Chain A
Amino acid sequence: MDPILTEFSLLGVTRPIGGYGLAVTLGILVSSAVAARAAHRAQEDVGATIATIGYATMAGFAGAFLLHAIVEWARTGDPLAILEQGGLVFYGAVPTAVAAVVIAGRAFGMPWLKIIDLSVPGIAMGHALGRIGCFLGGCCFGAEWDGPWAAIAIHPLAASAHPSVPRHPVQLYESMGLLVLAAIFTFVKPDRVGDGGRALSYVALYAVLRFSMEQLRADTVRGMFFGLSTSMIISLALFASAIVWGLRIRRARAAA
């Protein structure tokens, strides 16, 4: 794996193309396309869905960058540390993107919960592509392990190459898990589980997946609190929230 996939030249100036950036871009495109197609099939307003996706993408990037900045600030004590070590945290994107969908959905007069439900397989696919980008970039790396499919990063730009030892390809594990989730939710239609049921199921299952993957990760530089990483704590909170919210929806449906 190589963080720099290739290079391009423009008017004599050569710049690199990173694997992480390409994977994230592909992930956004795939998830947006899947969501727009699902909205078209559900006979929702495709234009308004695309506009909502645009707002959600902007808010998601802002939230992911903000959480990364907060974590880096807490870790280094320097608010400008984010400038020297860029990055994104997926969990930061979740609340801001959901908030953007809620606000935009209400502004466009769309059922925002249904839009989120329709977007779930695309979100999982895009996230899986993003994790492949993590593998290419050498971030979010796994613990040291000398197994048959261990990965060794040797490029100096890859964080997992310091030290360059065989590690669990935990990014690929999570990518595969997300693809499985995408396949599951492609066949689970939203109308079978009610509005919000598919999104809440995805949140709960992803929290379980992420919590288990965190056991194999070794980038403890993100910060540990009470023996748990930041993402483990967020996973626990998300899982509990999804279960509670799901039970409330179920009771409301039963009462109706």
Chain B
Amino acid sequence: MVHSPGLVGIGSITLGALSFCCMVAGIFLVWVPFLGAMVGFLAPVLALFGIVLGGIALSRARDGGHENESLAIGGLITSIVAFVPSILVAVTCSMCSACWTGVILTPHDAGPRAVFPDAGASTWVPPSMPPPSVLPGPPAWPPITPPPIAPDPAAATTEPTTEPTDGTEATGTAPTTGTTLAPGSSGPALPPPPLPPGPNVRSH
């Protein structure tokens, strides 16, 4: 029984569209065992059958005076366009789903009891986890304390030798750090400049 090229071309387009639907379903059903893998792997197979039908339709259309050739070419294009993403989904999502199915099928896994009652009791023992309080946490950082500000050695040791009486600046050994003495006082008027940050200061 030989079908007309138009009918075969429509079949090719239909298979290409079905392949595309299976491909989309394969993306979303990755986590469903069996079904996700089956649908995902079915998509490129359907696309390949669509390509085969498209080729047959094209061959018959050219034999029969190019009648319905556009349908055949449309089926070929639809199937080839569906084939590319479907094979990509098959080798990623469907392989992942197949791995998940393999995990489900593994007898020593905890999962099969709900899916395969005949698999018997699971022998898999979950690893005992220590309570969170026992788990080692991040290392405790020491509190960040600024380095002590050392007293200005110049200010501590330098005393005015002569008290000014006329309101002028005291003479004597003036501190080399630029600290000025307040008139009528023995201590420095301005605090010493802060020391540069010590090694305990972390930058973020």
Contact = CB atoms under 8 A, between A and B. Distances in A.
A49 B55 contact: yes
Interface residues of chain A: helix, strand, loop or mixed (majority): helix
A26 to B, nearest CB: 9
Contacts of A49: 55
A25 B88 contact: yes
A18 B57 CA distance: 33
Interface stretch (B93-101, B115-123, B128-136, B187-195): B93-101
Contacts of A29: 80, 84
Interface residues of B, number: 40
A47 B103 contact: no
Interface in A43-86: 45-55, 57-58, 61, 80, 83-84, 86
Contacts of A21: 87-88, 90-92
B27 A13 contact: yes
Interface residues of chain B: helix, strand, loop or mixed (majority): helix
B186 interface: no
A20 interface: yes
A146 B170 CA distance: 76
Interface of A: 10, 13, 15-18, 20-22, 24-25, 28-29, 45-55, 57-58, 61, 80, 83-84, 86, 108
14 contacts: A18-B88, A20-B91, A21-B88, A45-B62, A46-B59, A47-B61, A50-B54, A51-B52, A53-B51, A54-B48, A54-B51, A58-B49, A83-B102, A86-B95
Given A50-B52, A108-B59, 13 more contacts: A15-B89, A21-B88, A25-B84, A25-B87, A47-B54, A47-B55, A47-B57, A50-B58, A51-B55, A51-B59, A52-B55, A55-B52, A58-B45
